Structures are given as structure tokens and as C-alpha cells.
Structure 1
């Protein structure tokens, strides 16, 4: 796995932290990986349509 550094607004970090705190994701990294997977899948679906 590769490490990627990114900068996002504090409010978005807080939103991700809330998802972790409520147990939806085990940690921030997994929440962000899930978001990236969703984006890639969505774009792939748009291209295939």
C-alpha cells in the first residue's frame, strides 16, 4: 500500500472523525479509502454508461 498525503478542510476532518467515533469505520484511513473507492466506482459506472 502507498502512503498519500493530502490536505482537507478541518470541517471535513471532523466529519471523518465522527464516522470513526460512531463506529462506521475503524479509523480515518479506512474511511478515506472507502470514499476513494466510491469515487472511482462512480466514475467507472459513468464511463461505462
Structure 2
């Protein structure tokens, strides 16, 4: 996996942080990777695989 540095508006990062806090994602990186995957799938005209949906939902914060 490669590291990418990017700038994101504060409001958007706050939204991502809320998704992490609620357990939707384990961390910001995974939330952002999921957004990129969704956009790429949208561009391809393909849908997210059911296994990806299950993975995303299974992240719970202890």
C-alpha cells in the first residue's frame, strides 16, 4: 500500500471523524479508502461487492 498526502477541508475531516467515532470505520484512512473505492466503482459502473459492505459495517470501536 502506498502513502498519499492530501489536503481536505476541516468540515469534511470532522465528518470522517464522526464516522470513526460511531464505529462505521476503524480509522480515517479506511474511511477515505472506502470513499475512493466507491467513487472508482461508480466510475466503472459497477457496484460495491457485498463482501466490502460487510467489512465496512463490521468495524466497531471498543
TM-score normalised by length of structure 2: 0.72
Structure number with higher helix proportion: 1
Partner of 1:24: 24
Structure 1 unmatched ranges of 5 or more? none
Greater RCO (CA < 8 Å, at least 6 residues apart): 2
Partner of 2:4: 4
Partner of 2:39: 39
Aligned length: 46
TM-score normalised by length of structure 1: 0.91
Task: Provide Cα deviations, 1:5-45, integer angstroms capped at 9, x if missing partner.
Answer: 00010000000000000000000000000000000000010
Q: Extract structure 1 runs of 4+ deviating beyond 3 A.
A: none
Structure 2 unmatched ranges of 5 or more? 47-62
